[in-house]
Amino acid sequence: MSAMCVKVREQTNMNRKEFAEWLGIPYRTMQDWERGVSEVPDYVLNLIAYKVKNEKEKGNI
């Protein structure tokens, strides 16, 4: 699951700090998810992926 979180973030060309700020998620939470220290809830990952997809389609990222 942590690899999927990184994969979604990399689609935005943002670093971890930028991505966390863009989503309104604490940096430490994002860091823990990406490192596998804690697990991203499935529904959260789905919402993040949905937001990234929509913003890319709109040309916002």
Identify the pLDDT of residue 1.
79
Question: Tokens representing 48?
Answer: 């993040």
Is the distance from CB of 20 to CB of 27 less than 8 angstroms?
A: yes
**Structural domain for 7, as ranges:** 2-58
Quote the pTM value.
0.90
Q: What is the pLDDT of residues 11-57, one digit of tens each?
A: 999 999 999 999 999 999 999 999 999 999 999 999 999 999 999 99
Q: How many domains does the chain have?
A: 1
